[in-house]
Structure 1
Amino acid sequence: MKKAMQLGPGAGRHETIMVVLLSLGFGLVGLDRFIILPLFPAIMSDLQMNYQDLGNLSAALAMAWGLAALTVGSMIRRLGRKTVLVGSLLLVSVLSGLSALAGALASLLLLRALMGICEGLFTPAGIAVATEVSHPDRRGLNLGIQQALFPVLGLALGPLIAAWLLGAMHSWRGVFAIVALPGFILAWLIHRHYEPALSHSLPSSNQDDARLPWWQLLRLGNIRLNVLLMFCILACQFVLCAMLPNYLTDHLHLSTIEMASVISAIGVGGFVGQLVVPGLSDLYGRKPAVVLSFAASLALVILLKLAPAQPWLLFALLFGISFFNCSLTCLTVGPLTGESVPAELIPAATGIVVGLGEVLGGGAAPALAGFVATHFGLPAILYVAMGGSLGGLALSCLLKGPQEQPSDLPIPDELPLAARALTERN
């Protein structure tokens, strides 16, 4: 049991190095995605933008991210995991650097959408590689580590990094240029250290499993359920990320400094949660971890709705909500998806869960929250977050383990042999 919870000597050198590099890579993706938020006041003044433009920039990246993730299976089949992983990270860095040259909304919007495409390819590829290099006893823990730096770099340290660089360089353009540099170094390190499994070392031209259409993948294991779970998770998490700053300042009348301190709990809580809960799921099971996390998230959102304007209390509640929501994201796109399909289908299946979840949760949920806030008042956004956690709690009770998945599903003749075997194993 102790061995299953460690990442180090017991894990093997290649496994350890790759999990660390993939974690840093996903952290940089988070930084590139969210660093525009603290820079936007300066960008808005320079390029004559408004808050609707900020919403459009965020939506363009999220929608492009989700749609790209849906295609990652075929992309990996043609190019190989290593090419997609390294190439997408390089392009993210290039596009982040090019953002420094943007002269108008249209060019920045195009760059953010292209960045979303590359990040949408990197995310499922990174999860697939982390699953590939991990021993089954450490899969939950390793996937938690692999995704842990996304919230801490993107949401906790990102605003501080942006503020420090903006103060030092006196230019938002310089911030984009500096932030782009680590990605080039990290892409080179991944290229140097990643040793694909033999079956993944070359682009696939004859592996039938990798050619399964995405709509048939929805029929395997928990994949359909995982898509719905991702919508519920992101309906809670993204609504809080997008709307809670205004709730804290406009409704609870916190100062800007107090609001920023409270919001930092999203990144810190997500970081800690992804290091703890997925590892515990290795020991005690995926379904109990998911059910309890949804229940805890729901209870904490209810407490947040009732909480007074006390920054320390709000920080603690938001820390807990993000602790469980980010853990749920990791479990859903990681072990729950990877354990539902054959190894060759993991990139495509992960892309479907990430892509549809991002489009629905990242695009539709904040729009719904904006409608609710406009027509029913700002505090009503928390009912949207509660609805996400409550829906996820109900759906999580339907999760099936590998031995519980039904054996009587209709299997189309064109379903590849390994996928058919997975469906028929009971």
Structure 2
Amino acid sequence: MNATTGKKLNKERVSLAMVNEPKKSFFRYENGVVLMMFFTFGFVFMERLSVVYLFPFIAPDLKLNNAEIGMIVSILAICWSLSGFVFGSISDLIGSRKKVLLPITLAFSLFSFLSGIAKSFGSMLLLRGLMGVSEGPVLPIAQAAVVAESSEKRRGFNLGFVQSSLGLIGSTVTPLIVTAVATKYSWHAAFYLVGVPGIVMFFILLKWMIDPSKRMTKEQAAAHDHRVKREDYPAVFKSRNVWVCMVISAFMMTWLFAFTTFAPTYLTGHDKFTPEAMGLIMSAMGLGTFFWGFIGPAISDKWGRKPTLILFGFIATLSPVCLALVHGSIATMMIIGFLTTAGQATFPLFMAVVPGESLKPKYVGTAVGLTQLVGEFIGGTAAPSIGGIAADHFGLAAPLWIAAGGAFVSALIAFGLRETAPIRMKKSGAIVDQEVPAL
């Protein structure tokens, strides 16, 4: 059988499978786990980003300079990156997402409450570091749980929708809530409030989350027993796409954290917006983060992962540039913020979708944790501290230009990816089986 005949047969099998595919109810576990992970990850970022929006209130009270602001963000990122890889790998090794996710959900809620009683730079630094330890594993575990339950044609959308909660909950709802509470009551009260949703999610996960092993037949369970043998664990490090995604992660995290850490301070300190106006502008950016966060991956289900990453990577360059150069009304800045945060579409792709499609399912937690480790450790840790030092020496616009450079470089690096989208692979006649590609 020649190659042309093989391609035709493969396409016929795909078409036949689509025709014979039974209709699925909306109330199935695939949608349930997507919603549970959406809210869990969203509340993680509500608690993580709350400190950024509260810095205009915290900094005068605790007498923080820009370098110390950057360090508070950086310590969380350091702990987040290491914890995500370690506990993401542990969840792969023990074959249970739920056993790891439940205790850390309680823990990050506790540290949000404790952040509200911080009395100095040192105590805030310690508490945010402990929060990073508890929050770091959530994304690798959540995305691994979603990959295990996702149908092939919805994989990009599902993973993108989960991660888009960063925008809707973390970046849209959070600044409105915490700035309002801090203005009316205190920044301490804001930390207490954002700790509550995590407690609620703990009980929801306890009741309804199911580990994949519990849904297996005896035959599937027997086949799954060798899921993560120690001798084949290094397979994660043999994938070219995982390495490329790690480098992209480092530069896109630079864009994300240099921008989000100093955008609120820039708006209030340089452009002289009130805290309430700053909250509105940041919320518009958050809404854009939510919208593009699942629209971009959904587009990639049709166009392919590689071209979508390249396109939205270049668009991401515009958000800090526009903030630095355009000084318009609140409405103007809200519109620009919504449109230019399209760069958030890249995050589900390089952090979860591409690594998840480049490896066997049993490695997904480890791969996502590794990509997160590199991105958080370099971009999430170094960028806020360097940005803070640059802001003290060159002005508040300096971190924005650092952010723009990170996004631009990441778009160039994305040219080195190998395509993994099932629809593109099938059109080319390739068969996607999630085996580890050769370097």
TM-score, reference length from structure 2: 0.81
Say whether the 8 Å CA contact 1:262–1:315 is kept in structure 2: yes
The residue number in structure 2 matching 1:399 is: 417
Q: Deviations over 1:102-152 (max 9, x none)?
A: 455444332221111111011210111111111111111111221222222
* Partner SS for 1:422: coil
Amino acid corresponding to residue 147 of structure 1 in structure 2: Q
Instruction: Give per-residue Cα distances to partners, 1:34-63, cap 9 Å, x unaligned.
Output: 222344455556666555543332221111
Q: 1:151 aligns with which of 167, 183, 190?
A: 167
Kindly tell me the number of residue pairs found equivalent between the two proteins. 403
- Contact 2:358 2:437 survives alignment (8 Å): no
Deviation at 1:72, TM superposition (A): 2.4
Which moved further from structure 2: 134-143 or 216-225? Answer: 216-225
Tell me the residue number matched to 2:199.
Answer: 184
Determine if the alignment matches structure 1 residue 18 to structure 2 residue 33: yes
- Output the amino acid matched with 1:360: I
Indicate the SS of the match to 2:416: coil
Which stretch shifts more, 114-123 or 86-95? 86-95
Q: Deviations over 1:214-259 (max 9, x none)?
A: 8762321410100111122222222221223344445445455444
Tell me, yes or no, if the aligned pair for 1:18 and 1:190 is still in contact at 8 Å. Answer: no
Residue in structure 2 matched with residue 268 of structure 1 by the alignment: 287
Which segment drifts farther, 45-54 or 92-101? 45-54
**Which one of the candidate residues 141, 144, 148 is aligned to 1:125?**
141
3-state SS of the aligned residue for 2:328?
Answer: coil
Amino acid at match of 1:64: C
Residue in 2 that maps onto 1:412: none
Write the distance in 1 (CA, Å) between the matches of 2:64 and 2:215: 45
2:45 to 19, 23, 30: 30
Supply the RMSD in Å over aligned alpha carbons.
3.3
Alignment of 1:224 with 2:243, yes or no, is yes
Q: In 2, distance between residues paired with 1:165 and 1:310? A: 24
- 5+ residue gaps, structure 2, are 1-14, 423-432
Structure 1 counterpart of 2:299, one-letter code: L
**103-112 or 325-334, which moves further after superposition?**
103-112
For residues 186 and 123 of structure 1, what CA distance do their matches in structure 2 show?
15
Residues 138-217 of structure 1: pairs in structure 2 closer than 5 A: 138-166=154-182, 170-198=185-213, 207=226, 209=228, 211=230, 217=236
The residue that corresponds to 2:404 in the other structure is: 386
- Residue in 2 aligned with 1:89? 105
**CA displacement at 1:272 relative to structure 2:** 0.8
Q: What TM-score does the superposition give when structure 1 sets the normalisation length? A: 0.83
| Alpha-carbon distance between aligned partners in 1 of 2:179 and 2:126, rounded to the nearest angstrom | 25
C-alpha offsets along residues 367-387 of structure 1, whole Å, 9 cap, x if unaligned?
333344445444444432332
Question: What is the aligned partner in structure 2 of residue 345 from structure 1?
Answer: 363
Amino acid at match of 1:423: P
* Aligned position for 2:430: none
The reply on whether 1:60 has 2:75 as its aligned counterpart is yes
1:284 equivalent in alignment to 2:300: no
More off after superposition, 17-26 vs 35-44:
35-44
Distance 1:207 1:332 in 2: 27
